[in-house]
Amino acid sequence: MLTRRTFLAAAAASLLFSSVATAQYKAEYTVSTVLPSAFPWGQAADKWVELVHERSEGRINMKIYSNSQLVSGDQTKEFSAMRSGLIDMAVGSTINWSPQVPELNLFSLPFLMPDYGAIDAITQGEAGEAIFAAIEKRGVTPLAWGENGFRELSNSKHPVTRPDDVKGLKIRVVGSPLFQDTFATLGANPTQMSWADAKPALTTGAVDGQENPLSVFDVARIDQVGQEHLTLWHYMADPLIFAVSNRVWNQFSAEDQALLKQAAIDAGEWEIKKSRAEVADTLAAIKARGVQVTELTDEQRQAFVDATQPVYEKWTKRIGEQLVQQAQQAVADSQR
Ligand code: X2X
């Protein structure tokens, strides 16, 4: 029979145990992002932090460090820093993590995803699961998807309607060598640099062009550094991934893991919906500022699709043939 005394002792022990368990939690977890709160990306991270704080009743606190400051501005080091535990958590772009997770180059294959339905078909299906497994295998626990957006091409020289127009342009690219290949295949002169270095390079004319989602072009006022020509070619879109270093993840209780994951899913869904809904207004604002916007006809777009095919030959092997096939099938199904 449970006496009052043993009951009290057990209660005290469980109290002690739970306070020890929570004491193992950090007072604050670091969350790395590239873009801050003015951008959908930063807003996705803000939302996650807010939901976790609210739902854990203040037990789990996260602080966002934007502009890749935890990796001294080098966004391609974010994944390694998370894996080694220097960063606890991140909301990061597939592009920036692809040097460490080759499978993430899938999304950078030119013209793989024609529309939002195609992105969702990949992220929400088997291919998405395979990608999350690849991330986990490399020391980071992925929780949910967000979205940076379809990346469009801008430059300071002339309108781009055909692959020939890209020839000789110095283009700032980010992250993975795949981008070097895509632009080199088009005859451009690509230079890899971080986001921190991109705007200065555009300002001085060290580069002629860049590629980023409309939200980034708009909020960062890329037109003010001479980028007068913008071509909507939708050649790729980079999803965002909410993730936690495995070292930190394993310290959370199962309930708190579920809480962190559900909050990330909710924040991601919220951000994807919001950023897609804002695209039309963003484009109107960009046009209103005098940027010359070129929308490609199907035929013009096809010329870019054809010209970039060699990138698939080289990169399908590195990404994984099965994964590329799975993704292509998912896209094809989504277009029916
Ligand atoms: O550096 C970029 O172009 C950005 C901000 O879009 C990414 O981090 C992928």
Q: Which atom of ligand 1 is nearest to the CA of 175?
A: 9
Please report where in the chains the tokens 């003010």 appear, as a residue: 224
How many whole angstroms from 137 Cα to the centroid of ligand 1? Answer: 24
CATH number corresponding to 24-334: 3.40.190.170
Taken in order 23, 27, 33, 35, is the CA torsion positive or negative?
A: positive
pLDDT of the chain, 336 residues: tens digit per residue: 444 555 445 545 444 444 444 548 999 999 999 999 999 999 999 999 999 999 999 999 999 999 999 999 999 999 999 999 999 999 999 999 999 999 999 999 999 999 999 999 999 999 999 999 999 999 999 999 999 999 999 999 999 999 999 999 999 999 889 999 999 999 999 999 999 999 999 999 999 999 999 999 999 999 999 999 999 999 999 999 999 999 999 999 999 999 999 999 999 999 999 999 999 999 999 999 999 999 999 999 999 999 999 999 999 999 999 999 999 999 999 999
Tell me if 302 sits within 8 A of 292, measured CB to CB: no
212 lines ligand 1 (CB under 6 A): yes
How many whole angstroms from 71 Cα to the centroid of ligand 1? Answer: 14
pTM: 0.93
pLDDT at 331: 98
195 lines ligand 1 (CB under 6 A): yes
66 lines ligand 1 (CB under 6 A): no
pLDDT at 153: 98
pLDDT at 1: 43
19-28: long-range contacts (C-beta < 8 A, 24 or more apart)? 21/253, 22/59, 24/251, 25/59, 25/60, 25/251, 25/252, 26/88, 26/248, 27/61, 28/61, 28/62, 28/63
SS3 32: strand
Determine the residue of 174, 211, 217 to mutate for testing ligand 1's pocket, defined as the one with the most ligand atoms within 8 A of the Cβ atom. Answer: 174
C-alpha span between 275 and 235 (Å, rounded): 18
Q: Which atom of ligand 1 is nearest to the CA of 210?
A: 3
Q: Closest residue (by CA) to atom 8 of ligand 1? A: 34
Determine the residue of 216, 219, 236, 241 to mutate for testing ligand 1's pocket, defined as the one with the most ligand atoms within 8 A of the Cβ atom. Answer: 216
Determine the residue of 105, 150, 195 to mutate for testing ligand 1's pocket, defined as the one with the most ligand atoms within 8 A of the Cβ atom. Answer: 195
Taken in order 194, 200, 201, 202, is the CA torsion positive or negative?
A: positive
Closest residue by Cα to residue 138 from 80, 77, 78: 80
Q: What are the distances in angstroms from CA 244 to CA 204, 249, 314?
A: 38, 6, 31
Closest residue by Cα to residue 233 from 273, 168, 182: 182
C-alpha span between 124 and 255 (Å, rounded): 24
pLDDT at 4: 53
173 lines ligand 1 (CB under 6 A): no
